[in-house]
A and B are shown apart, each in its own frame.
Chain A
Amino acid sequence: MYNLIGAGLIAIGAGIGLGQIGGKAMEAIARQPEAAGKIQTAMIIIAALLEGFAFAALLLGK
């Protein structure tokens, strides 16, 4: 039961983080479309790091 609550909290946190990353990246691309490739790569790296932490937390709580 507590596991599920923890998983929910992780999902909320990760969701907020991913939203921030994605949103800011979109803004950045809209502002400078010519830098889209670089921004995407950076976005994916940061998203992957965040995802790694989220999954690590999920597994530790499992």
Chain B
Amino acid sequence: MFRAYLKTVFVALIFIAFSQANAEEPTQDHDAHDTTVDGADYGEGDAVNTKDEVSAFIQHHLQDSHYFTLFEKAEDHFFVSLPLPVLLWDDGLQAFSASKFHHGETVAEHNGNYYKLYHGKIYKTDAAGTITYDEDHHPTQAKPFDFSITKNVVVALLVSLIMFFLFKGLAKQYKTRSIPKGIGRVLEPLVIYVRDEIAKPNVGEKKYRKFMGFLLTVFFFIWIANLLGLTPLGTNLTGNIAVTVGLALLTYLITTFSANKDYWKHIFWMPGVHWIMKIFFIPIELVGTLTKPFALLVRLYANITAGHVVLFTLLGAITVAKTDLSIGTGASIGYGVFYFVLAVFITLIELLVAFLQAYIFTLLSALFIGMAVADHDHEHEHDEEGHEIADVEDVRERFV
């Protein structure tokens, strides 16, 4: 009963937050500020009709934001979005609400400092909000250190909350019953899957337990974040390079700090090769330790980004077919249906990719950790090889 109230209150709070954010918009500087929303200079909202606007929209979607936007119609100053707190380090902590930016339309003034939101980044500027550019069209304005609670931070917190409540519930179920029911029935096999198919074979039967916390958390975090990215909330957490760098950095740190003597020996003094080769191998192996997590972060980032780009391109192509192509209505409807069906297919594939990327990230993390903590028992390896060769011979004999 209490939980039902809690849920209602939570939903109501979110609703109020969004509606307030929405309500304050029309009262502000509707005429005071002349919004020039064109395709190239895409701010926080615009009608997305042309090809350039679609690609700008996609660019904008892939980036982090200071708003949690559900719907927007910028030409009418209509936003259903939650302005998030901005935290800047500019001669001390500067904290204010992102609603001051009015979706990038105005200059925010706080404690006598002026800040301008430009392409999702906050620049320090003057009262008029002038931004000067260098020859590469990059702003030359000073960027204060921005550690705001951005959209992705909110999404990360949301994913954490979802995970915590799902698995806390599962953990609680075990106190009263040995086989969980409800959502626990879905989650339990996944936990067992991560343990039996990812951790145990790759880290090792004896040592896997220590790393289960990281592996399970990273698996479900990436998976849930990927799935949230496919919902109409329009989040893109795992397609953000900073997030994947953070995840891969943890894998790297865990690998490095849990590595045993053998691991370092194989890096700095590879056994079984000539000493000249040993020296030659040192930089290669050292770079190898870095490329492994680098490949990890790039893979996750690129896969999710690519998926979002493809999906948005297909959806954008529907509006482009309507407005940008000089074709008849019937033909544009045909295009729309075609792209919609294609988008549905891509969404299904993305559902698979969402799981697959979580799986691969976890699997490779487990593999790297396993490499670092493995006992290199050379006698045993040779034995195993000998055994395998015998097997092959057996099979060949059987065939012959």
Residues of A within 8 A of B (CB): 41, 44-45, 48-49, 51-53, 55-56, 58-59
Which of B303, B360, B363, B364 is close to A55, meaning CB atoms less than 8 Å apart?
Answer: B303
- On whether A45 and B302 interact (CB within 8 A), knowing A52-B296, A53-B295, A56-B295, the answer reads no
**Given A44-B360, A48-B360 in contact, is the A55-B299 Cβ separation under 8 Å?**
yes
Contact A55 B367 (CB under 8 A): no
Shortest CB distance B291–A (Å): 8
Residue of chain B at shortest CB distance from A38: B201
Which A residues lie within 8 Å of B233 (CB)? none
Q: Is B294 an interface residue (CB 8 A)?
A: yes
Distance between Cα atoms of A59 and B241 in the complex (Å): 11
Contacts of B299 in A (CB 8 A): 48, 51-52, 55
Chain B residue numbers with a CB within 8 Å of A44 are 359-360, 363
Indicate whether B171 reaches chain A with its CB closer than 8 angstroms: no
Within the assembled complex, what's the spacing in Å between the Cα atoms of A59 and B294?
A: 12
**What A residues does B295 contact at CB under 8 A?**
49, 52-53, 55-56
Q: Is B325 part of the binding interface, using a Cβ–Cβ cutoff of 8 Å? A: no
Task: Say which residue of B197, B201, B298, B364 sits within 8 Å of A56 (CB atoms).
Answer: B298
Q: How large is the interface on B (under 10, 10 to 19, 20 to 34, 35 or more residues)?
A: 10 to 19
Whether A52 and B363, one on each chain, are in contact in the complex, defined by CB atoms closer than 8 angstroms, is no
Residue numbers in A under 8 Å from B364 (CB-CB) = 45, 48
With A41-B363, A52-B299 given, name 6 new contacts (CB 8 A): A44-B360, A45-B367, A48-B364, A55-B301, A56-B298, A59-B298
Most buried by A among B302, B359, B363, B367: B302
- The contact of A45 among B197, B294, B301, B363, by CB within 8 Å, is B363
Complex: chain B residue closest to A56, CB-CB: B298
B302 touches A59 (CB 8 A): yes
B 340-368 binary contact with A (CB < 8 Å = 1; else 0): 00000000000000000001100110010
Docked complex Cα distance between A32 and B295 (Å):
31
* Contact residues of B between 90 and 109, Cβ < 8 Å to A: none
B392 shortest CB reach to chain A, Å: 11
Identity of the chain B residue whose Cβ is nearest the Cβ of A48 in the assembled complex? B360
Q: Which residues of B contact A45 (CB under 8 A)?
A: 363-364, 367
Q: Which chain A residues lie closer than 8 Å to B359 at the CB level?
A: 44
Tell me, in angstroms, the Cα distance from A51 to B363 when the chains sit together. Answer: 15
Closest-CB distance, A51 to chain B (whole angstroms) = 6
Which residues of the other chain, A, contact B303 by a CB distance below 8 angstroms? 51, 55
- Kindly provide the distance from the CB of A47 to the nearest chain B CB, expressed in whole angstroms: 9
Other-chain contact of B302, A41, A49, A58 (Cβ < 8 Å): A58
4 tightest A-B contacts by CB? A52-B295, A55-B302, A52-B299, A48-B360
* Residues in chain B near residue A49, CB distance under 8 A: 295
Give bound CA distance, A53 to B302, whole Å: 11
Given that A48-B299, A48-B360 are contacting pairs, would A56 and B294 also be in contact in the complex, using a CB cutoff of 8 Å? yes
CA distance A52 to B296 in the complex (A): 7
Q: Which of A52, A58, A59 has the most CB of B within 10 A?
A: A52
CA distance A49 to B302 in the complex (A): 13
Would you list 12 pairs from A and B whose C-beta atoms are within 8 A, ordered by A residue? A41-B201, A44-B359, A45-B363, A45-B364, A48-B363, A49-B295, A51-B299, A51-B303, A52-B299, A55-B298, A55-B302, A56-B298
Closest to B296 in A: A52
Residues of B within 8 A of A52 (CB): 295-296, 298-299
